């Protein structure tokens, strides 16, 4: 599979004109697969050899076994032959007796056995031949059975051997007895013949004598004489006859004895024949057993043979399958090799061309380097000129941006007023006093409504943040102001509102959720970093507090020391505070250190209105000084972040003595701030900066093209609606002075003090133009009326560009 894949990939690589370095891994893969296949083939061959060796060993075993068997059969045959000879010899000696017939039968039986043996041998030879022809049995577990059977066979053969020995002994005995019998018979025959001859002779003599007697009787004298002689001679003859008869008697006794002996011998022969028959039966039995064992062995061998054949066939078919697979693999490898060859040719060709390229490379490189150098220097030149052009454009754009920004600020107004409503807190308590009195316009984020003494008063600012607005959302709206201080603008952000309205929360925030101060510094850091390629910036921080109209350094060694605001001696008309500590900050850690340091030193006192009430103005003054390295241009921008003291009315706080004095100072400075803003908005020739320490200190940052943001903080609680109303009136008035010089003048003339703000009735504030309507007739009223009209006709409040 791998090979095929490799081959396929290679072919496709070749079609795609074969990238110079790619085919090598393919060839390596193919070679690896070939090696793997070769290894497999070798392993298979080894297995095959092992099988063949096993088979050969088995064959050898079987051969030696069959040789043994053959030897045994040979000896048996020889013995049987001997026996047969012996029997034939006996038969020739004894003639056709029963024993002979028996022996003939045995011989026939022997002959039959021999035939069977021969058949067995033939089968054995056939088996051996088949074994030689067939593949070897891989794991012949029948060898042991075979050995057992052979053991049995040899045991039987041993028994047969013993029986045969006994038979031989018996044969010998039979032979001896037969010999003796033959001798006795011979002797008997001789004596019988003798007796017959004697009887013949005697009977002849008797007949002669009787004839003689008769002839004599016919011749009386002579006969008498002769009779007398014969009688005399007859007595002699009678005696001879008696002797002969006694001898005959003796001979007959002898014959009887001989017959007796013969009978005995015949009995002996019969018993020995019986024994022989028994032995033969035993032999027959043994031979039957032998035959059975042989048959069993043959069966076993047959079964073994079959199993062996089966195993051989299986092994053979497995080997064939494996060989086939190996052949197929080999064929695959061959085809792969064949497909690889063109790729190799292409590779060789590529390699040669690469070699040529490498040979020519130094020259080519030198030439290329020369031209590249020329091109690079030309490109550098071009880049330089482009850079110069870009720098020029950039500076022009910078100027343009500054102009645009200024224009935008001018259009939007240098003073922007935002309102932020804090959420109802635990400190507000429960019940109707803590009820929410502030609502918002869903279509206009610059409008809020205050329910005061049963009447709803609407206010329009530049933007209103509802209680759910996050610190981040608030900061997003002020960050443009913050960054403009990098461009050299002075910026003031004030948090205005009654104590507990959320001024400190907006400016400082919490450690987990910082306010404008920390976010502004972080933004400045990141902006400065992004401009670090062209500009060098330093950011310094001062923290001061104005308490009872005296300025104190919050970062100085002696915070109680009152600082003075002075004109710069260089005649530039700039103000400065001698002795005010400035910290250079570079990281958030530095900022935190400064804030912590300042916090400790800030004077906060509690009144009965709110135990966290702050009775001083806290200022964080961030100065950003920049140097454009390419032009040498220097810029200085100041960001003043002011957390004003509480704007609540003194009468309400119930303060007396020093507390009253504090409240008066606060009211005075807040009124002065309002005055300055009015004067600036209405572009008055004289701006009363010096009326308070706060405005005097911030003079630089409030005049000229400086930008100011007033964040008016209000509480939504029912119990705070009077203060909320005052704060929102202040906010709207600050914002409304953008109408124009005439109106501004008029506004400036009628700018109310904190006390005046206190005196505004909600009824008058609810009318179009609201809180300031009684103080600002003319254009202001008409503009407010037009806004209101728009609000009512369109159904939503929109910011109207002024």
Regarding 458 and contact with ligand ADP (CB under 6 A), the answer is no
Q: How far apart are CA 660 and CA 673, in angstroms?
A: 20
**Partner whose binding site includes residue 425, from ligand ADP, Mg ion, none (CB under 5 to 8 Å by kind):** ligand ADP
- Which residues, in sequence order, are bridge partners of residue 575? 567
Q: Which is nearer to ligand ADP, 178 or 499 (CB)?
A: 499
Q: Considering the rule CB under 6 A, would residue 592 count as an interface residue with ligand ADP?
A: no
Beta carbons within 8 Å of 409's beta carbon, 6+ residues apart: 484, 705, 707
The interface partner of residue 581, options being ligand ADP, Mg ion, none and the CB cut-off 5 to 8 Å by kind, is: none
- State the minimum distance, in angstroms, from the CB of residue 767 to ligand ADP: 29
DSSP type of residue 19:
-
Query: Looking at 422, 452, 744, 775, which residue binds ligand ADP (CB under 6 A)?
Result: 422
Q: Compute the distance between CA of residue 254 and CA of residue 71 in angstroms, rounded to an integer.
A: 55
| Among the listed residues 123, 15, 193, the one whose alpha carbon sits nearest the alpha carbon of residue 131 | 123
Burial zone of 61 (CB within 10 Å; 0-12 exposed, 13-18 middle, 19+ buried): middle
Pattern of binders to ligand ADP over 746-765, x per CB under 6 A?
Answer: --------------------
Nearer to ligand ADP, 141 or 612 (CB): 612
CA within 13 Å, CB half, 517? 30
Q: How far is the CB of 723 from ligand ADP (least distance, A)?
A: 11
Q: Report, in Å, the least distance between residue 394 CB and ligand ADP.
A: 40
501's contact among Mg ion, ligand ADP, none, with CB below 5 to 8 A by partner kind, is ligand ADP
Q: Measure Cα distances from 306 to 299, 311, 313, 314, 629 in Å.
A: 10, 8, 10, 12, 105
**Closest approach of Cβ 581 to ligand ADP, in Å?**
24
Q: Please, what is the minimum distance in Å from the beta carbon of residue 642 to Mg ion?
A: 12
463 binds ligand ADP (CB under 6 A): no
Place of tokens 């922007």: 416
- For residue 463, the Cα-to-chain-centroid distance in whole angstroms is 57
**Which partner in ligand ADP, Mg ion, none is near 423 (CB below 5 to 8 A by kind)?**
ligand ADP
Q: Of the two residues 715 and 784, which places its CB atom closer to Mg ion in the complex?
A: 715
Q: Which of 418, 475, 496, 505 binds ligand ADP (CB under 6 A)?
A: 505
432 Cβ contact list (under 8 Å, min separation 6):
718
Coil, strand or helix at 625: strand
Distance of alpha carbon 600 from alpha carbon 587, whole angstroms = 21
* Residue nearest to Mg ion according to CB distances in the complex: 504
- Nearer to Mg ion (CB atom), residue 458 or residue 614: 614
**CB of 638 vs ligand ADP, minimal distance in Å:** 23
Structure tokens at 713: 């903080």
CA nearest to 735, candidates 495, 492, 398, 463: 463
Q: Which residues, in sequence order, are CB contacts of 1 under 8 Å at separation 6+?
A: none
Distance, in Å, from the CA atom of 776 to the CA atom of 747, rounded to the nearest integer, reads 6
- Check residue 740 for interaction with ligand ADP (CB under 6 A): no
- Would you say 490 or 504 has its CB closer to Mg ion? 504
497 binds ligand ADP (CB under 6 A): yes
What's the min distance (Å) between Cβ of 567 and ligand ADP? 33
Applying CB under 6 A, does 413 fall inside the site for ligand ADP? no
CB of 399: closest distance to ligand ADP in angstroms?
39
- Least separation, in Å, of the C-beta of 620 and ligand ADP? 14
Least distance from C-beta 388 to ligand ADP, angstroms? 50
CB of 615 to ligand ADP, least distance (A): 10
By CB under 6 A, tell whether 423 contacts ligand ADP: yes
Give the 3-state secondary structure of residue 450: strand
Of the pair 503, 744, the CB lying nearest Mg ion is at 503
The dihedral of CA 647, 651, 655, 656: what is its sign?
A: positive
Residue 497 binds: one of ligand ADP, Mg ion, none (C-beta under 5 to 8 A by kind) = ligand ADP
- DSSP string for 757-793: HHH--HHHHTSTTGGGTTT--THHHHHHHHHHHHHHH
Rounded (10°) CA dihedral 171, 175, 178, 180: -140
Q: In this structure, what token pair is assigned to residue 57?
A: 């060993």
User: Site for ligand ADP (CB under 6 A): which residue of 181, 251, 482, 501?
Assistant: 501
> Smaller CB distance to ligand ADP: residue 612 or 629?
612
The site for Mg ion (CB under 5 A) is made up of: 503-504, 614
Distances (CA, A) of 215 to 201, 459, 691: 21, 217, 233
Residue with Cβ nearer ligand ADP (273 or 504): 504
Using the rule CB under 6 A, is 466 a contact of ligand ADP?
no
Q: Does the protein bind ligand ADP through residue 517 (CB under 6 A)?
A: no
Q: Which is nearer to ligand ADP, 76 or 641 (CB)?
A: 641
Q: Which listed residue (425, 439, 592, 799) binds ligand ADP by CB under 6 A?
A: 425
Angle of the 741-749 helix axis to the 779-794 helix axis, nearest 10: 110
To ligand ADP, the closest distance from the beta carbon of 498 in angstroms equals: 7
Cα gap 746→682, rounded to integer Å: 9
Measured CA to CA, the distance from residue 251 to residue 188 in angstroms comes to 10
Residue 33 sits in the site that holds ligand ADP (CB under 6 A)? no
Tell me the closest approach of the beta carbon of residue 499 to ligand ADP, in angstroms. 4
In angstroms, what is the minimal distance from the CB of 613 to ligand ADP? 6
Q: Give the residue with the Cβ less far from ligand ADP, 524 or 717.
A: 717
Is 503 near ligand ADP (CB under 6 A)? yes
The entry of ligand ADP, Mg ion, none that residue 505 binds, CB within 5 to 8 Å by partner kind:
ligand ADP
Q: Where are the beta strands (DSSP E) in 3-150?
A: none
Q: How far is the CB of 474 from Mg ion (least distance, A)?
A: 16
SS3 of residue 70 by DSSP:
helix
In angstroms, what CA-CA distances link 12 with 15, 16, 47, 158, 291?
5, 6, 39, 80, 75
Name residue, tokens 């409503």: 421
620 sits in which H/E element:
strand 617-628
Interaction between residue 419 and ligand ADP (CB under 6 A): no
Matching residue, tokens 């009678």: 238
> Whole-number minimum distance, CB 502 to ligand ADP, in Å?
3
Tokens of 289: 């057993």
Residue 598 binds ligand ADP, judged by CB under 6 A? no
Q: Does 504 bind ligand ADP (CB under 6 A)?
A: yes
Q: Which of 500, 514, 674, 716 lies at the binding interface for ligand ADP (CB under 6 A)?
A: 500
Interacting residues with ligand ADP between 608 and 647 (CB under 6 A): 612, 614
Please report whether residue 729 would count as binding ligand ADP according to CB under 6 A.
no
Which one of the spans 88-96, 484-492, 499-507, 564-572 is the region binding ligand ADP (CB under 6 A)? 499-507
Distance between CA atoms of 240 and 209, rounded to whole angstroms? 13
* Using rule CB under 6 A, residue 227 touches ligand ADP: no
Q: How far is residue 291's CA from residue 257's CA, in Å, rounded to a whole number?
A: 49
Q: Tell me how many residues contact ligand ADP (CB under 6 A).
A: 14
Site mask for ligand ADP (CB under 6 A), range 687-716, x = bound: --------------------------x---
Tell me which of Mg ion, ligand ADP, none is bound by residue 707, counting a contact when its beta carbon lies within the kind-specific cut-off of 5 to 8 angstroms: none
Q: What is the largest CA-CA distance in the chain?
A: 247
CA distance 198 to 343: 131
* CB neighbour class for 576 (10 Å; exposed up to 12, middle 13-18, buried from 19): middle
Q: Please give the DSSP secondary-structure letter assigned to residue 194.
A: H
Q: How far is the CB of 614 from Mg ion (least distance, A)?
A: 4
Q: What residues line the site for ligand ADP (CB under 6 A)?
A: 422-423, 425, 497, 499-505, 612, 614, 713
């Amino acid at each position: 599979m791998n090979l095929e894949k490799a081959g396929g990939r290679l072919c496709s690589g070749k079609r795609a004109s074969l990238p110079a370095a790619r085919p090598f891994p393919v060839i390596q893969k193919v070679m690896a697969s070939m090696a793997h296949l070769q290894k497999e083939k070798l392993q298979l061959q080894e297995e095959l050899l092992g099988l063949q060796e096993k088979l050969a060993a088995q064959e050898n075993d079987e051969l030696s076994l069959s040789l043994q068997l053959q030897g045994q059969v040979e000896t048996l045959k020889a013995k049987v032959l001997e026996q047969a000879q012996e029997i034939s010899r006996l038969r020739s000696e004894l003639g056709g007796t029963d024993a002979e017939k028996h022996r003939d039968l045995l011989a026939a039986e022997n002959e039959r056995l021999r035939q069977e043996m021969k058949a067995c041998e033939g089968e054995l030879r056939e088996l051996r031949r088949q074994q030689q022809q067939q593949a070897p049995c891989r794991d012949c577990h029948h060898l042991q059975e075979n050995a057992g059977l052979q053991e049995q066979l040899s045991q039987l053969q041993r028994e047969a051997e013993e029986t045969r020995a006994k038979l031989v002994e018996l044969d010998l005995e039979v032979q001896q007895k037969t010999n003796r019998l033959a001798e006795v018979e011979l002797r008997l025959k001789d004596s019988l013949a003798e007796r017959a001859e004697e009887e013949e002779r005697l009977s002849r003599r008797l007949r002669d004598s009787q004839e003689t007697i008769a002839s004599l009787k016919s011749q009386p004298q002579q006969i008498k004489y002769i009779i007398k002689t014969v009688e005399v001679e007859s007595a002699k003859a009678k005696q001879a006859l008696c002797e002969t008869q006694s001898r005959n008697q003796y001979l007959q006794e002898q014959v009887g004895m001989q017959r007796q002996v013969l009978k005995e011998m015949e009995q002996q022969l019969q018993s020995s024949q019986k024994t022989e028959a028994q032995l033969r039966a035993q032999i027959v039995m043994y031979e039957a057993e032998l035959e059975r064992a042989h048959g069993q062995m043959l069966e076993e061998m047959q079964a073994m043979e079959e199993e062996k054949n089966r195993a051989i066939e299986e092994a053979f078919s497995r080997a064939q399958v494996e060989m086939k697979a190996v052949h197929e693999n080999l064929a695959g490898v061959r085809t792969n090799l064949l497909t690889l060859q063109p790729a190799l040719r292409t590779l060789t060709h590529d390699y040669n061309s690469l070699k040529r390229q490498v040979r020519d490379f130094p020259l080519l490189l030198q030439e290329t380097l020369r031209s590249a150098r020329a091109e690079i220097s030309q490109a550098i030149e071009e880049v330089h000129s482009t850079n110069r052009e870009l720098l020029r454009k950039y500076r022009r754009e910078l100027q343009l941006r500054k102009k645009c920004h200024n224009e935008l600020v001018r259009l939007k107004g240098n003073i922007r007023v935002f309102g932020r409503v804090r959420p109802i807190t635990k400190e507000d308590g429960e019940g109707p006093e803590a009820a929410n009195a502030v609502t918002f316009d869903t279509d206009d984020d610059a409008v809020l409504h205050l329910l005061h003494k049963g009447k709803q008063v609407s206010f329009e600012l530049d933007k209103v943040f509802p209680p759910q607005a996050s610190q981040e959302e608030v900061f997003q709206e002020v960050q443009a102001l913050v960054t403009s201080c990098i461009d050299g603008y002075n910026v003031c952000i004030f948090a205005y509102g009654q104590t507990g309205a959320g001024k400190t929360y907006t400016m400082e925030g919490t450690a987990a959720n910082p306010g404008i101060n920390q976010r502004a510094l972080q933004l400045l850091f990141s902006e400065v970093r992004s401009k670090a390629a062209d500009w060098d910036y330093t950011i310094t921080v001062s923290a001061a507090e104005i308490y009872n109209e005296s300025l104190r350094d919050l970062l100085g060694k002696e915070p109680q020391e009152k600082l003075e605001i002075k004109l710069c001696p260089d005649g530039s008309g700039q103000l400065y505070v001698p002795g005010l500590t400035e910290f250079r900050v570079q990281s958030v850690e530095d900022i935190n250190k400064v804030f912590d340091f300042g916090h400790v030193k800030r004077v906060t006192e509690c009144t009965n209105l709110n135990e966290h009430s702050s009775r001083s103005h806290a200022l964080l003054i961030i100065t950003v000084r920049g140097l454009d390295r390419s032009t040498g241009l220097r810029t200085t921008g100041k960001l003043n972040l002011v957390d004003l003291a509480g704007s609540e009315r003194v009468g309400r706080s119930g303060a007396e003595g020093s507390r009253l004095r504090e409240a008066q100072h606060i009211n005075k400075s807040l009124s002065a701030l309002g005055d300055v803003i009015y004067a600036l908005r209405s572009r008055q020739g004289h701006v009363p900066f010096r009326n308070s320490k706060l405005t005097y200190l911030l003079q630089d940052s409030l005049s000229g093209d400086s930008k100011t943001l007033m964040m008016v903080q209000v509480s939504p609680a029912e119990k705070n609606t009077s203060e909320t109303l005052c704060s929102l009136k202040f906010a709207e008035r600050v914002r409304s002075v953008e109408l124009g010089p005439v109106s501004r003048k008029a506004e400036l003339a009628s700018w109310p003090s904190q006390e005046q703000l206190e005196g505004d009735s909600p009824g008058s504030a609810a009318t179009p133009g609201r809180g300031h309507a009684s103080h600002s007739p003319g254009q202001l009223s008409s503009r407010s009326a037009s806004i209101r009209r728009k609000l009512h006709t369109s159904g939503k409040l929109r910011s109207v560009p002024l």
